[in-house]
Amino acid sequence: TEHNDGRAQARSKELFAAACEVIPGGVNSPVRAFASVGGQPPFIRKATGCHVVTEDGAALIDYVGSWGPALLGHAHPEVVEAVIKAARDGLSFGAATAAEVDFAELICEFVPSLRGGMVRLVSSGTEATMSALRLARGYTGRNKIIKCAGGYHGHADMLLVAAGSGAATLNIPGSAGVPPDAVHDTLLVPYNNAEAVAELFAAHPGEIAAIIVEPVAGNMGCIPPLPGYLERLREITRREGAVLIFDEVMTGFRVAPGGAQERFGVTPDLTCLGKIVGGGMPVGAYGGPREIMSKIAPLGPVYQAGTLSGNPLSVAAGLETLRLIKRDKPHEALEAATLRLTKGLAERAAKHGIAWTDVAVGAMFGFFFVAGEVHDYEEAKRSDLDRFAAFHSEMLRRGVYLAPSQFEAGFVSTAHDDAAIEQTLAAADGAFEALAGA
């Protein structure tokens, strides 16, 4: 309908113009600017369930989910209630609270590598990965780290090398302002290539502290691990005395209750969490076995701190979210809904003769405008980016809000019911038809 036309954006246009005067690019995180899909971003007034409502009055079916946190849908009543209740008792104390203990215990119960271990709360995914790498270096006494090309682990200096997500979208996979020394010890491998990792260990014996990897890649588009890949990383790091870090900021609580490590049965040494763990509030976390975690201050020599770490509002939102996941066990239904979506999209793409590949892992999905499987960032870049941009705007026009970049993943929530999926597929049918005719 006209009302739901994502492009009829008079108020959003005004707001974006005003925003661009006082906020760089009008946004507080780059991909939100819609730079690679043309047009300009709708401003969001509110969100409930599987919908975001724009300042122009359009209710859009949302597959961004705040970039991952909204597993239970937006403004879940019980989560909102928990936050309001906590807020009445004070926003932040910078001191230990009972709820933090409950929260840490529950996180450690969910995530296999944290069982019997410890977890430290921070306020973003960036802080989680940055701190886990410092810990891995402090623990091993080694300096070099390995990351995957197209992998994104937040915006710490040492990780802005061949970075995915917004850095890939804007074609600035490194960053100005990062001193060469900061990335000197960062080594690169293609995703899904364990032999490249083995070769780096052979070339730098005793020097590599850790490999950090998204166990399901989500920032070069969505790419699942090939069978045996994660297992092989586990073997190599164990043999070499290096720390295996799974960055489960995106996959944690999403591809299975215990994350990718549970789904694929491979247990890392350290795990990084973010997004869902905060239920929509700023939370990150990193954890692992006591032996490694006891190197962190105040127990050990690796320093890491945060004024707002473990603040009562964030903890309330995260704790209630995990409690609801534990109580309602939504993952089977989430996976079914996600498959229904990706299968339906593939059928409609085929019907209109559009080259298309899709991926679904739990409640996470992706698609590329290319025929055949995609295994790494180089292959992801072969997707037809013009087609992606056209598809994105055709879908938005039809009331579906997808991540505005090929190099991002999509997220399904428990609020995406059959009607929402059917509406999405009807929109896709029209969008593919427009693409085929263009």
Residues near ligand PMP, by CB under 6 A: 67, 124-126, 129, 152-154, 165, 214, 218-219, 247, 249-250, 274
The residue among 160 and 319 lying less far from ligand PMP, judged by its C-beta, is 160
Give me the least distance between CB of 239 and ligand PMP, in Å please: 26
- Whether 247 is a known active-site residue: answer yes
> One-letter amino acid identity for 351?
K
The residue among 247 and 394 lying less far from ligand PMP, judged by its C-beta, is 247
Cα angle 143, 144, 146; round to 5: 145
DSSP string for residues in 174-196: S-TT--HHHHTTEEEE-TT-HHH
**Main-chain dihedrals φ then ψ at residue 36, nearest 5 degrees:** -95, -5
Q: Looking at 63, 139, 152, 191, which residue is catalytic?
A: 152
Give me the least distance between CB of 113 and ligand PMP, in Å please: 16
The residue among 67 and 365 lying less far from ligand PMP, judged by its C-beta, is 67
C-alpha span between 326 and 167 (Å, rounded): 35
The residue among 126 and 314 lying less far from ligand PMP, judged by its C-beta, is 126
| Contact present, 375 and 192 (Cβ < 8 Å) | yes
The residue among 29 and 294 lying less far from ligand PMP, judged by its C-beta, is 29
The residue among 201 and 246 lying less far from ligand PMP, judged by its C-beta, is 246
Signed CA dihedral, 130, 147, 249, 108: sign only: negative
C-alpha span between 178 and 156 (Å, rounded): 9
Distance of CA 406 to the CA centre of its chain: 14
Distance of CA 173 to the CA centre of its chain: 17
Tell me the residue number closest to ligand PMP, measured at CB: 125
- Whether 63 is a known active-site residue: answer no
Q: Tokens for 321, please give them.
A: 């979210």
Q: Tokens for 60, please give them.
A: 């859009």
Q: Tokens for 262, please give them.
A: 């549970």
The residue among 256 and 427 lying less far from ligand PMP, judged by its C-beta, is 256
| Contact present, 254 and 363 (Cβ < 8 Å) | yes
Give me the least distance between CB of 418 and ligand PMP, in Å please: 28
Give me the least distance between CB of 371 and ligand PMP, in Å please: 27
Q: Looking at 56, 63, 191, 247, which residue is catalytic?
A: 247
Give me the least distance between CB of 59 and ligand PMP, in Å please: 25
Give me the least distance between CB of 129 and ligand PMP, in Å please: 5
Give me the least distance between CB of 252 and ligand PMP, in Å please: 9
- If we measure between CA atoms, which residue out of 284, 197, 274 comes closest to residue 238? 197
Cα–Cα distances (Å) from 66 to 32, 73, 314, 351, 401, in that order, read: 11, 10, 15, 31, 11
Secondary structure letter of residue 41 according to DSSP: P
| Contact present, 273 and 248 (Cβ < 8 Å) | yes
Q: Tokens for 70, please give them.
A: 């909204």
> One-letter amino acid identity for 85?
K
Strands 118-122 and 144-148: unpaired
C-alpha span between 182 and 217 (Å, rounded): 24
Q: How many residues does the chain have?
A: 438
Give me the least distance between CB of 367 and ligand PMP, in Å please: 18
Q: Tokens for 375, please give them.
A: 């295994």
Give me the least distance between CB of 154 and ligand PMP, in Å please: 4
Radius of gyration of the chain (CA): 21
The residue among 125 and 399 lying less far from ligand PMP, judged by its C-beta, is 125
**Edge-to-edge strand ranges of the sheet holding 357-361:** 357-361, 364-368, 410-411
Q: Looking at 275, 286, 358, 401, which residue is catalytic?
A: 275
- Whether 147 is a known active-site residue: answer no
Known catalytic residues? 152, 247, 275
